[in-house]
Amino acid sequence: MAYLSTQTYKGARDYYPDDKRLQNYIFTTWKSVVESFGYEEYMTPLVESYDLFAAKTGQEIVNEQTYSFTDRGGRQVVIRPEMTPGVSRMVASRRQEMPYPARLYSIANFMRYERPQKGREREFWQMNVDIFGVATVDADVEIIAMADAIMKAFNATDSMYTIKVNSRRLINTMMADYLGLDVMQSELMIKLFDRKDKISAQDFRDEAASIFDDDKAEDGLKKIAKLVGAKTMGELPRDLLDSTAIKEVQALFTLLKGRGVASVMFDITLMRGFDYYTDIVFEVFDTHPDNNRAMFGGGRYDGLVGLFGVEPLATVGMAPGGTMMEEFLKAHDLVPKLLPSTEAVMIVLGDVLHGAQKLATRLRSEGVKVAVDITDRKLDKQIKSAVKQGVPFIIFVGEQELAEERFTIKELENSKEHKVGFERMVALIHDARVQDADV
């Protein structure tokens, strides 16, 4: 007979218990940080209308990367490739009822049909965090400060990452007034800048030259060289330094410094690929040489809610990704010791399974997470299995232990054994749980 393949769908992955423990650590840390800022959890459907994403999501994602299909009712739908249009739809549907500012977050899975590579999958998990209803720079500051707090919550130091910031308003001024591009050329140049670090310098120059009108290409390339060479706002051409957009960016940096965000820097070449961004954009970059890349980002998008026929609403958001966060933690050796959720395995000695199960029920009533070995295997095989699971404790239960109500409990990490009563056994396990939480 032909056997089924054990391979996952290309670009998707299985999460075995040890993988899931790391993912849950990341999710729990995210939730802790954003909830400390006053954000509330929500969720949208996995499947949405195709039109929802065609309206403002980048055309590359809509045309080439969405998993789209016609459902049994003849509706054209997609598996969500991102969350921003969906949460904007949710807010628009209760535009007058919601309290503002509305601080919302979700952790969900998404799918995009793109080339799988390190840190990037077709099915991926990410957190979306958005604040609705604040038009001032204070909302941008809050989201970027929260991104910084997330990195710090994973014990990252300032040298491990950089938060690069730009402004789409400044970009528009740069494209139209400084480079002299029309709307179509500006769109092409923005997409090219967004790919700048993924292609060679010569390819970037050649593609940039092809976007300009023939008589403006030489001068245009010189101007781009000045832009790319500017490492600070002060090094930008005077035409851009006098713009209102640059003054807003300067105000943002002043406020972030006041909030203790030290890893932030200006980058005129940062674009962010989504079409819906309207002002401040940012990305968090890993500085490790083995993982030197953008991890996640966000920005202001004030127009999406208005697409649903209601009054527009100022919005700023970001979306950290689970796999990118994993790569960062591994590169910087920041993955903590993550134990199984099971705290103890009960080894059954002889024909006492019924008594062992009763003891396990008592332990569970005290909050202990315990599994009973019900296989009737030899002692050494039961122990090997428990060790392989990586649990902190083994509890040995036989006729004598049940009769005396004194049990041998072994700490697997240091091989210490204790002969204790029920209450002391519970205390040992609880104490270990507290110590692990403090590590």
Q: pLDDT digit string (tens) for 246-277? A: 989 999 999 999 999 999 999 988 988 777 89
The pLDDT value recorded for residue 58 is 60
Residue 249: the pLDDT is 92
Q: What is the mean pLDDT of residues 238-243?
A: 85
- Which amino acid would we find at residue 426? V
CA distance between the termini of the chain: 51
Residue 439 has pLDDT above 90, yes or no: no
Tally the residues of the chain. Answer: 439
**Quick one: CA dihedral 189, 193, 199, 202, positive or negative?**
positive
Distance CA 405, CA 42 (A): 48
Torsion of CA 49, 52, 58, 61, to 10 degrees: -10
Whether 244 has a pLDDT exceeding 70, the answer reads yes
Region 411-437 average pLDDT:
92
Tens-place pLDDT, residues 95-144: 999 999 999 999 999 999 988 888 889 999 999 999 999 999 999 999 99
Take residue 356 and report the two structure tokens written for it.
Answer: 């062992």
* Block residue for tokens 């209601």: 310
Q: What value does the mean pLDDT take over residues 15-43?
A: 98
Residue 21 has a pLDDT of 97
All residues at 6 or more sequence positions from 367 whose CB lies less than 8 Å from its CB, including other chains? 430
Closest CA to 204 of 185, 184, 221: 221
Say if residue 71's pLDDT is above 80: yes
Identify whether the C-beta of residue 367 lies closer than 8 Å to the C-beta of residue 430.
yes
State the residue for tokens 């966060």.
325
DSSP conformation letters of 59-94: HHIIIII-EEEE-TTS-EEEE-S-SHHHHHHHHHHT
Longest dimension (CA), the chain: 96
Looking at residues 14-24, what average pLDDT do you find?
Answer: 97
C-alpha to C-alpha distance for 250 and 245, rounded to whole angstroms: 9
> Residue 261 to residues 64, 88, 146, 258, 372: CA-CA distances in angstroms?
37, 28, 10, 8, 49
**Share above pLDDT 90 across residues of the chain, in percent, rounded to a whole number:** 83
Residue at token pair 């500085």: 287
Q: Helix axis angle, 201-211 relative to 183-194, nearest 10°?
A: 170
**Three-state secondary structure call for residue 138:** helix
Is the confidence at residue 438, as pLDDT, over 80? no
pLDDT for 56: 63
Mean pLDDT of the chain: 94
pTM score, whole prediction: 0.92
The SS3 assignment for 331 reads helix
pLDDT band at 57 (very low <50, low <70, confident <90, very high): low
Q: Decide if pLDDT at 40 tops 80.
A: yes
What confidence score (pLDDT) does residue 275 get? Answer: 76
pLDDT value at 368 more than 90: yes
pLDDT of residue 191: 87
**What domains appear along the chain, each with residue ranges and CATH number?**
17-331 (3.30.930.10), 344-438 (3.40.50.800)
